[in-house]
Amino acid sequence: MNLISIAHAQGTAAASPESTLMSTLPLVVMFVILYFVMIRPQMKKAKETKAMIEALSKGDEVVTSGGLVGRVSKLGDTFLQLEVADKVEVQVQRSAVAMVLPKGTLKTSA
């Protein structure tokens, strides 16, 4: 019985500050890697998308996230109207615009 209590007394040592730092270091390193691999690129892409949507103007040729291709005919705060064919317009949310095409991409019918 006496040997067991001595063994338990020897096994309980106070954690040193160095061991605490070394145990949290991998967690901090993983968070830094996660930030540079996932979070930062996602924030950069969101910022670019927001700037693209704010810079839309009448006459821009765009593709929506649903695959609809058309020319911007009217702009509002949250919605815009796309001319998808002659005298055919649809209203979509500004946030649905996925890409602005180069000018002249859409062919006009004669």
pLDDT at residue number 21: 80
Domain assignment present for residue 70? The answer is yes
Q: Indicate whether 81 and 61 sit together in one domain.
A: yes
Domain assignment present for residue 89? The answer is yes
CA distance 74 to 83: 9
Domain assignment present for residue 10? The answer is no
Q: Indicate whether 71 and 93 sit together in one domain.
A: yes
| Contact between residue 68 and residue 84 where contact means Cβ atoms under 8 Å apart | yes
Neighbours of 21 (CB within 10 A): 10
Q: What is the pTM of this model?
A: 0.66
pLDDT at residue number 74: 95
Range of the domain at 80: 57-101
Percent of the chain exceeding pLDDT 70 equals 83
| Contact between residue 58 and residue 72 where contact means Cβ atoms under 8 Å apart | yes
Q: Indicate whether 76 and 88 sit together in one domain.
A: yes
Domain assignment present for residue 69? The answer is yes
Q: Indicate whether 47 and 71 sit together in one domain.
A: no
pLDDT at residue number 110: 40
pLDDT at residue number 2: 61
Q: Which residue has the tokens 């002249």?
A: 104
Q: Indicate whether 20 and 50 sit together in one domain.
A: yes
- List, for the chain, all residue ranges whose pLDDT scores fall below the cut of 70: 1-16, 108-110
Domain assignment present for residue 1? The answer is no
Chain-centroid distance of CA 91 in Å reads: 25
Q: Indicate whether 35 and 68 sit together in one domain.
A: no
Question: How do 61-64 and 69-75 pair as beta strands?
Answer: antiparallel
CATH classification at residue 83: 2.30.30
